[in-house]
Amino acid sequence: MALSELATPNANQIKTWNEKSGPTWVKYREQLDAQIRELGLAALDRLSPKPGDRSLDIGCGCGDTVLQLAAAVGDTGHVTGIDISRPMLEVAQHRAEQQGFTNITFKELDAQEAPLPNAGYDALYSRFGVMFFDDPEKAFRNLHASLRPGGRLAFVCWRTIQENPWMLEPFKAAQSVLPPIPASDPLAPGPYALANPDRLERLLHQADFRHTTIERYDTWVGGQSLDDATQLSLKVGPLGTVLRENPHYLDSVTDVVRLALQPYNTDSGVQMRAGVWLVTASQG
């Protein structure tokens, strides 16, 4: 039975990632991978995967980082990619087969609720796949139990939207033509749910992770043409969500977002600042 047919605490996210955000990520996969690749690689560097590692990629999406992990752990190692989004997993599976990897398994599983192999992994990793849990403490506990003694965790997650002008600027510009958008709960499942480093550290500690490090990492993201960057801004993040629910605003929002991105258009495409946490912890 597909996850989307089950009544579970993450049912809303499962619906979204199967019916709305997931298909968008599939459609814009190459641009999104290019946009966030450096950030994922920075977290992979902190994980420092070793040949032979049994590793888990949490919320692996369309599989970009599973392929990187699989190359790093080699033929003696293994990567399991888990995700709640069937359309994204299908793309990931296809990419792994096309590239001839034999050390990868994909599973349609909710990282918070699914029984994972007890102490089954040497390393847990995620690129922006751990911020969507209805009950993050429960999810991190479940993940902790899947890590062998001495095992390690590394992931990258967004800081606040204010520290991410590449998402804030299009959103702010759009607000000038959209009806008032009700303020959202900053702790609700979503891209910024782990933006508060104190909460993040507390959650990991409560889930029995130890030796947590939370490293601030800032960079430029982008590189697309002004038109492509505009289109991408309209499809992902909080603005993408608002526009999917109010598609009749698309034309007017497109114009103001394009104008807002124009000052950031350089010889190497639209370049904007992004701010993330690189997080590491160990099993004990």
Ligand X SMILES: C[S@@+](CC[C@H](N)C(=O)[O-])C[C@H]1O[C@@H](n2cnc3c(N)ncnc32)[C@H](O)[C@@H]1O
Calpha distance 131→72 (Å, rounded): 25
Calpha distance 13→269 (Å, rounded): 33
Beta strands in 131-256 (DSSP E): 147-158, 210-224
Among 121, 125, 128, 192, binds ligand X (CB under 6 A): 128
Among 127, 144, 152, 159, binds ligand X (CB under 6 A): 127
For residue 117, the 8-state DSSP code is P
Considering only residues 103 to 122 of the shown chain, the ones binding ligand X according to CB under 6 A are 110-112
Among 43, 70, 88, 173, binds ligand X (CB under 6 A): 88
Q: Is 129 in the site for ligand X (CB under 6 A)?
A: yes
Question: 276 pairs with which residues across the strands?
Answer: 158, 217
Q: What are phi and psi of 224, to 5 degrees?
A: -85, 165
At closest approach, how far in Å is the CB of 233 from ligand X? 15
Considering only residues 2 to 61 of the shown chain, the ones binding ligand X according to CB under 6 A are 10, 13, 17, 22, 36, 40, 59-61
Residue-wise burial string across 131-150, b where 16 or more C-beta atoms lie within 10 A, e elsewhere: bbbbebeebbbbbbbbbbee
Contact, 177 vs 183, CB < 8 A? no
Residue closer to ligand X by CB (options 92, 260) is 92
Q: Is 84 in the site for ligand X (CB under 6 A)?
A: yes
Calpha distance 275→166 (Å, rounded): 10
Q: Is 140 in the site for ligand X (CB under 6 A)?
A: no
Site residues (vs ligand X, CB under 6 A): 10, 13, 17, 22, 36, 40, 59-62, 64-65, 82-85, 88, 110-112, 127-129, 132-133
